Structure 1
Amino acid sequence: MTLSPEGSDSLASTVQDAGFKIYFGNCDRLRGLYSVRRHILAVIDQFQPDITHSHGVRPDIINAFVNNKTVTFSTIHNSLNGVYKLKYGKLTGEMMDILQLAAIKRIRYPVACAKTLAEELKSNYGINTAIVSNGIDLSVFNGTSTKTKKELLIELNLPDASLVFVTSGALTAWKDPFLIMNAFTASAIGKKAVLVICGDGPLREACQKQVAGNPRIYFTGNVCNIKSYLMAADYFISASKIEGLPNAVLEAMACYLPVILSDIPAHREILAYDYRAGILFDQAHSENLIRTLDNLDFITSDTGLYARKVIKNHFSKEIMTGKYAALYEMACSQSDRERGLWPKA
Structure 2
Amino acid sequence: MKVCYIITTTTNCGPVNVVYNMLTEYRKFNVIPTIITLKPDDSQKSRQKDFEKLGVRIKHFFDLKTQKKDILDFIEKEKFDVVHSHGLVPDYVNSYLEKKEKVKIFHITTLHNYPFDDYVKSKGFLFGNVMAVLQLTAVKNLYKVACSKSICSDFNRIGIKTDVIQNGIIFPDKLVKQKKNNQKPTFLYLGRIHKRKNVEFLVKYFQFHPEYDFWIVGDGAEYENIKEQCASTANITVFGKTETPNEFYQKADYYISASTSEGLPLSVLEAMSSGLPCILSDINPHKEVMSPDKGVIFKNNDIDDLDEAIKKVINSGFDATKIFEETKSKFDTEVMMSKYVDLYKKQEKHI
Q: TM-score, normalised by structure 1?
A: 0.84
Gaps of 5+ in 1: 151-159, 337-345
What letter corresponds to residue 294 of structure 2 in structure 1?
A: A
What letter corresponds to residue 220 of structure 1 in structure 2?
A: F
Q: Which residue of 1 aligns with 2:73?
A: 42
1:14 aligns with 2:50: yes
Report the Cα distance in structure 2 between the residues aligned to 1:14 and 1:284, rounded to whole angstroms: 38
Report the Cα distance in structure 1 between the residues aligned to 2:56 and 2:48, rounded to whole angstroms: 10
Q: Which runs of 4+ in 1 moved over 4 A?
A: none
Report the Cα distance in structure 2 between the residues aligned to 1:320 and 1:10, rounded to whole angstroms: 23
- Partner secondary structure for residue 261 of structure 1: strand
1:128 aligns with 2:161: yes
What letter corresponds to residue 318 of structure 1 in structure 2?
A: E
1:222-278 Cα offsets, whole Å, 9 max, x none, are 11100100000000001011111100000100110000000011111111xx32211
- Partner secondary structure for residue 191 of structure 1: coil
Does the CA contact (< 8 Å) of 1:184 and 1:293 recur in 2? no
Q: Which residue of 1 aligns with 2:172?
A: 139
Does the CA contact (< 8 Å) of 1:143 and 1:231 recur in 2? no
Does the CA contact (< 8 Å) of 1:176 and 1:239 recur in 2? yes
1:37 to partner: Cα distance:
2.7
Which structure's residues are more often strand, by fraction?
A: 2
Report the Cα distance in structure 2 between the residues aligned to 1:2 and 1:313, rounded to whole angstroms: 32
Report the Cα distance in structure 1 between the residues aligned to 2:70 and 2:124, rounded to whole angstroms: 30
What letter corresponds to residue 229 of structure 2 in structure 1?
A: Q
Q: Which residue of 2 aligns with 1:287?
A: 304
Does the CA contact (< 8 Å) of 1:138 and 1:316 recur in 2? yes
Gaps of 5+ in 2: 1-35
Report the Cα distance in structure 1 between the residues aligned to 2:131 and 2:66, rounded to whole angstroms: 19
Report the Cα distance in structure 1 between the residues aligned to 2:211 and 2:236, rounded to whole angstroms: 11
Q: Count matched residues.
A: 311
Report the Cα distance in structure 2 between the residues aligned to 1:208 and 1:143, rounded to whole angstroms: 32
What letter corresponds to residue 310 of structure 2 in structure 1?
A: L
1:191 aligns with 2:210: yes
Superposition pairs for residues 156-305 of structure 1, below 5 Å? Answer: 160-186=182-208, 190-271=209-290, 274-302=291-319, 304-305=320-321
1:308 to partner: Cα distance:
1.3
Query: Residues 38 and 287 (structure 1 numbering): CA distance in 2 closer, same or farther, change over 3 Å?
Result: farther
1:301 to partner: Cα distance:
4.2
Q: Which residue of 1 aligns with 2:347?
A: 331
1:102 aligns with 2:121: no
1:162 to partner: Cα distance:
2.5
1:290 to partner: Cα distance:
2.8
Does the CA contact (< 8 Å) of 2:169 and 2:266 recur in 1? yes
- Partner secondary structure for residue 23 of structure 1: strand
1:218 to partner: Cα distance:
1.1
1:295 to partner: Cα distance:
4.1
1:65 aligns with 2:96: yes
Q: Which residue of 2 aligns with 1:155?
A: none
Does the CA contact (< 8 Å) of 1:161 and 1:192 recur in 2? no
1:2-51 Cα offsets, whole Å, 9 max, x none, are 12222334332232233321012447xxxx4x643333223223323111
Q: Which residue of 1 aligns with 2:10?
A: none
Query: Residues 305 and 46 (structure 1 numbering): CA distance in 2 closer, same or farther, change over 3 Å?
Result: same
What letter corresponds to residue 44 of structure 1 in structure 2?
A: I
1:318 to partner: Cα distance:
1.2
- Partner secondary structure for residue 144 of structure 1: coil
- Partner secondary structure for residue 296 of structure 2: strand
Does the CA contact (< 8 Å) of 1:161 and 1:193 recur in 2? no
Report the Cα distance in structure 1 between the residues aligned to 2:256 and 2:88, rounded to whole angstroms: 28
- Partner secondary structure for residue 237 of structure 1: strand
1:127 to partner: Cα distance:
1.8
1:130-179 Cα offsets, whole Å, 9 max, x none, are 11111111128x5415x6434xxxxxxxxx43321100111111100011
Aligned identity (percent) is 30
Report the Cα distance in structure 2 between the residues aligned to 1:101 and 1:14, rounded to whole angstroms: 31
1:284 to partner: Cα distance:
3.3
Q: TM-score, normalised by structure 2?
A: 0.83
